[in-house]
Amino acid sequence: MNSRNGLFLIIGALLVVVVGMGVYIYREQSKPSGVDISIGEKGISLEEK
């Protein structure tokens, strides 16, 4: 029984890693690209996204 529990633990950990990487990749690819221009008290700020 102990080896079966260890196998389930390894499969669960791999599943968590795969789902986490999928979410990370999805968020990175869905970021908008371009330039952000803001005007504040310190002047004009340009930030590349």
Domain map (residue ranges) of the chain: 2-48
Residue 29: per-residue pLDDT: 87
Residue 1: per-residue pLDDT: 62
pLDDT tens-digit map of 1-49: 678 899 999 999 999 999 999 999 999 888 777 888 899 888 888 887 6
Q: Are strands 43-48 and 35-40 parallel, antiparallel or unpaired?
A: antiparallel
pTM higher than 0.75: no
- Report the candidate in 35, 39, 37, 38 with the shortest Cα–Cα distance to residue 48: 35
Q: Which two tokens stand for residue 31?
A: 């970021």
